[in-house]
C-alpha cells in the first residue's frame, strides 16, 4: 500500500464544486486523487496549493464518459495510493448550446448522457470493485460514494432537457448502488445542489443575481462550492449515520413551495 491516509477520488475535482469538495476533504486529512479533462500543467496551481498545505495529491486526467479513461483513472489511483476510500461523482457538463427541446440534437444528447450518467455509473462499478477487493484483503476502511446531482433533477429547463434527464436518473443510480453495495458496508449518498457559483454558471450571473433578489431561494445568495464541500465532508465522515441512499438538498430553500 502506498498511502496510510484515506484516499478520495473526486471527478471534476480541480475547479468549481469539485474543488470545494476537495478542500473540505483535504482539511479532514484525506489524500486526493483529482480527476479532470484538462492537461496536468493546466491545473498545476491547484495541485501545488494542496501540496503546499501538506496534502498528498495526484492528478488523474481523463474523460469519465470514455471507458478507457475510466479504467485509467482507477488504475492511476491504485498505482499512486494503493487504496480508495471515497468516490465523489462530481464531473458533469451542461447541455451544449442549451438548445430548446424542439431543436436539440442527438449528438449533444449522447455527450451529456455519457459524461453525466454513463460515466458515473460505470466509474462507480470500477471503484466499488476496488473497494471490495481491499475489504477481501482485510483492509480497514469506511468506504462511501457520493453522487453530485442538481436541482435540475426536479426543476424543468426546456433548453437543457438532456441535462435534466441525467440528473433525474442520478437519483435512481444512487438508490441502485446503495442497495447493491449495502452488504459491503459501502454507503452511497446523493447531494442535490441548487444554484452554485462556478464556471458552469458564470455565464448566467446577471440572471441569477436578479432572481435571488426577487426571492428565488429563501436564502438570498448564491450557493458556494465550499457549501457543498462542507456537506460532502459531513456525509463522508459519517456524521449523519443510518442514512445510506438518502438525498441531501443544498438549495437555500428553493424547493419549498410558496404562495
Give the residue, 259 or 255, on which the prediction is more confident.
Answer: 255
Q: Is the pLDDT of residue 179 over 90?
A: yes
2 domain-assigned = no
Q: How crowded is the C-beta side of 234, counted as CA atoms within 13 Å?
A: 12
Residue 185: pLDDT over 80: yes
Distance CA 224, CA 158 (A): 25
**Assigned domain for 259 exists:** no
- pLDDT, tens digit, 9 for 90 and up, residues 202-223: 888 999 999 999 999 999 999 9
Catalytic residue, candidates 59, 121, 163, 189: 163
- Look at strands 57-61 and 86-89 and give their pairing: unpaired
Residue 26: CATH number of its domain: 3.40.50.720
Q: Check the CA dihedral 230-31-11-186 and report its sign.
A: negative
C-alpha dist (Å) from residue 42 to 36, 37, 59, 61:
10, 10, 11, 11
As for how many domains the chain has, the answer is 1
227 domain residue, yes or no: yes
Residue pLDDT, tens place only, 226-240: 999 999 999 999 999
Query: Is residue 146 one of the residues assigned to a domain?
Result: yes
Task: Please check the confidence at residue 141 and state whether its pLDDT lies above 90.
Answer: no
Q: CA-CA distance, 53 to 101, in Å (whole number)?
A: 46
Using alpha carbons only, how large is the chain's radius of gyration in Å?
A: 18
Give Cα 102 distance to the centre of its chain. Answer: 30
Query: Which residue shows C-alpha cell 413551495?
Result: 257
47 in a domain, yes or no? yes
Residue 258, domain member (yes or no): no
Q: Is 70 exceeded by the pLDDT of residue 34?
A: yes
* pLDDT of amino acid 139: 76
Show the domain range for 32: 7-250
Largest CA distance in the chain: 57
Q: How far apart are CA 150 and CA 141, in angstroms?
A: 29
**Three cell numbers, residue 176:** 441502485
Does the annotation count 163 as an active-site position? yes
Specify if 216 maps to a domain: yes
What's 43-94 look like in SS3? CHHHHHHHHHCCCCEEEEECCCCCHHHHHHHHHHHHHHHCCCCEEEECCCCC
Confidence of residue 2 (pLDDT cuts 50, 70, 90): low
Joined grid coordinates for residue 59: 492528478
Q: The pTM is what? A: 0.96
Whole-angstrom CA distances from 165 to 60, 119, 158, 187 are 27, 15, 11, 24
Mean pLDDT of the chain: 95
Q: Cα 230 to chain center, whole Å?
A: 13
pLDDT in tens, 79-98: 999 999 999 999 999 999 99
Over residues 8-20, the pLDDT tens digits come to: 999 999 999 999 9
Contact 73, 60 (CB under 8 A): yes
Q: Please tell me the distance from the alpha carbon of residue 93 to that of residue 11, in angstroms, as a whole number.
A: 12
pLDDT per residue as tens digits for the range 45-54:
999 999 999 9
243 pLDDT higher than 90: yes
Average pLDDT over residues 138-144: 85
The residue written with cell numbers 424543468 in the block is 156
**How far is the C-alpha of 247 from the C-alpha of 148, rounded, in Å?**
10
**Residue 40 resides in a domain:** yes
Q: What is the pLDDT of residues 129-139, one digit of tens each?
A: 999 999 988 77
Measure the CA–CA gap between 148 and 174, rounded to whole angstroms.
10
The grid coordinates listed for 140 are: 480497514
Amino acid at each position: 500500500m502506498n498511502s496510510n491516509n484515506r484516499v478520495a477520488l473526486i471527478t471534476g475535482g480541480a475547479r468549481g464544486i469539485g474543488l470545494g469538495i476537495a478542500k473540505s476533504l483535504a482539511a479532514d486529512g484525506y489524500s486526493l486523487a483529482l480527476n479532470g479533462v484538462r492537461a496536468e500543467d493546466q491545473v498545476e496551481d491547484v495541485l501545488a496549493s494542496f501540496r503546499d498545505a501538506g496534502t498528498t495529491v495526484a492528478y488523474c486526467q481523463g474523460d469519465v464518459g470514455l471507458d478507457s479513461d475510466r479504467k485509467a483513472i482507477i488504475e492511476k489511483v491504485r498505482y499512486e495510493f494503493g487504496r480508495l476510500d471515497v468516490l465523489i461523482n462530481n464531473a458533469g457538463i451542461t447541455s451544449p448550446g442549451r438548445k430548446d427541446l424542439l431543436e436539440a440534437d442527438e449528438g449533444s444528447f449522447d455527450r451529456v448522457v455519457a459524461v453525466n450518467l454513463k460515466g458515473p455509473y460505470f466509474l462507480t462499478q470500477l471503484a466499488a470493485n476496488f473497494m471490495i477487493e481491499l475489504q477481501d484483503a482485510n483492509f480497514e476502511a469506511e468506504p462511501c460514494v457520493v453522487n453530485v446531482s442538481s436541482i435540475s433533477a426536479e426543476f424543468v429547463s426546456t433548453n437543457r432537457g438532456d441535462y435534466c434527464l441525467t440528473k433525474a436518473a442520478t437519483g435512481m443510480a444512487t438508490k441502485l448502488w446503495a442497495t447493491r453495495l449495502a452488504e459491503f458496508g459501502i454507503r452511497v449518498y446523493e447531494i442535490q445542489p441548487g444554484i452554485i457559483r462556478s464556471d458552469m454558471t458564470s455565464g448566467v450571473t446577471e440572471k441569477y443575481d436578479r432572481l435571488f433578489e426577487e426571492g428565488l431561494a429563501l436564502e438570498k445568495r448564491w450557493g458556494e462550492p465550499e457549501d457543498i464541500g462542507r456537506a460532502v465532508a459531513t456525509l463522508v465522515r459519517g456524521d449523519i449515520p443510518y442514512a445510506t441512499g438518502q438525498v441531501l438538498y443544498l438549495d437555500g430553500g428553493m424547493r419549498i413551495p410558496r404562495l
